[in-house]
Structure 1
Amino acid sequence: MAKPYVIGIDMGGTNTAFGIVDARGNVIASDSIKTVKHADINDYIDELHTEITRVITANDAAGKIQGIGIGAPNANYYTGIIEDAPNLPWKGPIPFANMISEKFGIPCIITNDANAAAIGEMTYGAARGMKDFIMITLGTGVGSGIVINGQMVYGHDGFAGELGHVIVKRTNGRVCGCGRTGCLEAYCSATGVARTAREFLEIRDDESKLRNYDIESITSKDVYDCAIAGDKLAKEIFDYTGTILGEALADFTAFSSPEAFVLFGGLTKSGDLIMNPIKEAYEKNVLGIYKGKTKIMLSEMKESDAAILGASALGWEVKDTD
């Protein structure tokens, strides 16, 4: 007999969120720890185990967990291994699913964090009922989860769907965290927006409220605040970012003809500042046969819930341990 709960873990480059989820998709309780706090992966797992156990005990869920699902950068669904994730503090292949399963004594399945968000969106959010859509996560990096004919696309090796590492600038492209140059992630992530701000401030002499900030510590939130206050240069940074992303989405449409792109993550809180240039660039560049067929929409999930719920859905895939 299946147990009533699963654990969903969303490992981000900065924070790791986790929650207890029931069969209806209700997050019974959730919390988080700092991903970057520990230089040693074992210390990180120890803290994660301590905090999740605390939440399980506080919610009378001990012995009632069917499985653990995890969404993490560069996580391979087939092997359970996190392989050289550029935004995590630990390098090399990490057999994370096995490490967590052994620590908790509960079966565990892992997938890419953006795939987990897509599963959550398909089950509980804006993509309910859709069989063909692409999830784009705009956070510290740019992630993606591709669903075709109702199935998550993993590819033959488990790593399909790294659209954040499609090259969008062939000449003088920025160095990306992956080590290559010109990747979409280097331009359209939150860190990409901050990099654009620094570049614009260095090569131009426009007046801007952004010049009141320390140039080396400017964040995408700073750019947003200035844009909302009417700063022309800040608005131009969002136009530049949205245009690059819209052009990329137009290219992505050609290989799967999605019903929708669902955008998720901190950068989407910029609203029309980012969405308008995305949609304009998309419509301008998409192949004619696709025009007017694909929606570009925002996630309907709470900031942390999509990935937690998506990851938790993997927990139901494990066989009953009794």
Structure 2
Amino acid sequence: MDEKWLVGADIGGTTIKMAFINQNGEIIYKWEIPTNINEKGKNIPKEMAKSIDQTLSELGQEKQKLIGIGVGAPGPVNLGNGSIDVAVNLGWNNFPLKDLLEMGTSLPVIVDNDANAAAIGEMWKGAGQGSKDLLCITLGTGVGGGIISNGQIVHGINGAGGEIGHITSLVEDGAPCNCGKTGCIETIASATGIVRLAIEELSFTETPSRLRDFYNEHQILSSELVFEVANEGDELANRVIGKVTLYLGLALAHLANGLNPEKIIIGGGVSKAGDALLVPLKEQLTRFAFPRVLQGVELANATLGNDAGIMGGAWLVKKRLLNRNGNTPLYL
């Protein structure tokens, strides 16, 4: 029997990643297209549909080869109708993504938040493989998160479950966050937050630092550079990393104490720092988490990289559509 494929898609502010994936979680073919944010992103579903058709044609396959499309999208998702409440970077506001993509492809579509999709991908084929209770945190331009309990993503009452980036870490005098609050962990542990902390240290202290040379010469600072000079023993950079891991470790400990997960997976661009991030983060997690919680949890780097979202999207199709049709789902 000719096995049908799952379609996974991950909509980002710059590119849309898509893939055809078999039911065992093996990527058959993956590609990406630019994210067209003109006209408030209204053409994104149409361009995704066109790209899927073109790619099928290039591979010599018919539309009947596909079971459905699972999409990870930025912003809160209305799980009832698959619309996006708001996605500022795309220009979406109450955007009917599911309906428009189904209209353009004639395929069933499942939509979830992009961080949730990444968490699901890591559970299925990444660092969380074999685990049904895990936290997945993505540290990039912002801080995203997905919570999985007994193999199911935690959406909450209105789809806002897993908004880990908006845990308040500084009650007073915190930096403004894009969500409208202040002091969120996103303002500290994201790539932009790390740079902000570094600039504060450079502006309000006289500590010698290689970062100061870049700053004084108006060169671009980055979170990668902060970790690089921290690894060289730079005092100021290590002070910044200390703040980041202190507040992130505290937030993760609170979550772990409430959820008792088997794994905490750290993904996103900042996670590429490896042990320079994980070692001090584990120290702070150990400091704040309940001892019995610590006995059961493993802190690890994500392994799927940019494929996490498309893998999660494919899993949504496998789980929900195949189960609906009477086939055996991945998790019971």
Partner in structure 1 of residue 301 of structure 2? 298
1:283 aligns with 2:308: no
Cα distance, 1:125 vs structure 2: 1.8
Inter-partner Cα distance in structure 1 for 2:52 and 2:199? 39
Deviation at 1:2, TM superposition (A): 9.2
Q: Is the 8 A contact 1:239 1:273 kept in 2?
A: no
Contact 1:235–1:273, Cα closer than 8 Å, also in 2: no
Residue 206 of structure 1 corresponds to: 207
Distance 2:237 2:255 in 1: 27
Supply the AA of the counterpart residue of 2:107: I
Is residue 37–residue 91 contact of structure 2 (8 Å, CA) maintained in 1? no
CA contact (8 A) 2:67 2:107 kept: yes
Q: State the match for 2:82 in structure 1.
A: 80
Deviation, structure 1 residue 13 = 3.5
- Paired residue type of 1:35: T
Relative to the length of structure 1, the TM-score reads 0.91
Distance in 1, matches of 2:91 and 2:3, equals 33
Partner of 1:144: 145
Match among 251, 254, 258 for residue 255 of structure 1: 258
Give how far 1:141 is off: 1.5
- Aligned residue in 2 for 1:218: 221
The runs of 5 or more residues in structure 2 that have no matched partner are 326-332
Quick one: structure 1 residues 234 and 14, their matched pair in 2 at CA, closer, same or farther if it must change by over 3 Å? Answer: farther
Partner in structure 1 of residue 97 of structure 2:
96
Whole-angstrom distance in 1 between the partners of 2:36 and 2:194: 22
Residue 247 of structure 1 deviates from its aligned partner by 0.8
For residues 73 and 254 of structure 2, the distance between their equivalents in structure 1, rounded to whole angstroms, comes to: 26
CA distance in 1, matches of 2:211, 2:281: 23
Q: Which runs of 4+ in 1 moved over 6 A?
A: none
Following TM superposition, by how much is the alpha carbon of 1:232 offset from its aligned partner in structure 2, in angstroms? 2.8
Percent identical pairs in the alignment equals 34
Judge conservation of contact 1:134–1:147 (CA < 8 Å) in 2.
yes
Which residue does the alignment assign to 1:157?
158
User: What SS does the aligned partner of 1:155 have?
Assistant: coil
Secondary structure in 2 matching 1:92: strand
Aligned counterpart, 1:8: 8
Question: 1 CA distance for matches of 2:14 and 2:224?
Answer: 16
Aligned to 1:135: 136
Structure 2: distance between partners of 1:126 and 1:266: 16
Deviates more, 1:97-106 or 1:289-298: 289-298
What corresponds to 2:330 in structure 1? none
Separation (CA, whole Å) in 1 of partners of 2:241 and 2:161 = 28
CA distance in 1, matches of 2:251, 2:96: 33
| Per-residue deviation, 1:211 | 2.5
1:170 aligns with 2:171: yes
Shift, 1:230, TM fit: 4.1
CA contact (8 A) 2:40 2:92 kept: no
Deviation of 1:117 after TM superposition, in Å, equals 1.3
Distance 1:19 1:81 in 2: 22
Query: For the structure 1 residues 102 and 185, does the alpha-carbon distance in structure 2 shift closer, same or farther, using more than 3 Å as the test?
Result: same
Q: Secondary structure at the match of 2:17?
A: strand
Instruction: Give the Cα separation in 2 of the matches to 1:124 and 1:83.
Output: 29
Q: Deviations over 1:168-216 (max 9, x none)?
A: 1100111111111111111111121122122222212222222233558
The 2-side partners of 1:85 and 1:93 are apart by: 9
Inter-CA distance 15–205: structure 2 relative to 1 (3 Å threshold): farther
TM-score of the superposed pair, with normalisation by structure 2: 0.88
Separation in 2 of the partners of 1:313 and 1:141? 24
Task: Please list the CA deviations of residues 29-70 of structure 1 after superposition, one character each: whole Å capped at 9, or x if unmatched.
Answer: 112234365353123334333433332222233311110000
| Aligned equivalents of 1:273, 1:30: Cα separation in 2 | 31
**C-alpha offsets along residues 104-141 of structure 1, whole Å, 9 cap, x if unaligned?**
22110011111111211221122222121111111221
Partner in structure 1 of residue 117 of structure 2: 116
The number of residues matched between the two structures is: 318
Q: CA deviation at 1:262?
A: 1.1
Which one has more relative contact order, counting CA pairs under 8 Å at least 6 apart?
Answer: 1
| Deviates further, 205-214 or 309-318 | 205-214
Find the aligned partners of 1:104 and 1:33 in 2 and give their Cα distance.
Answer: 16
Unaligned stretches of 5+ residues in structure 1: none
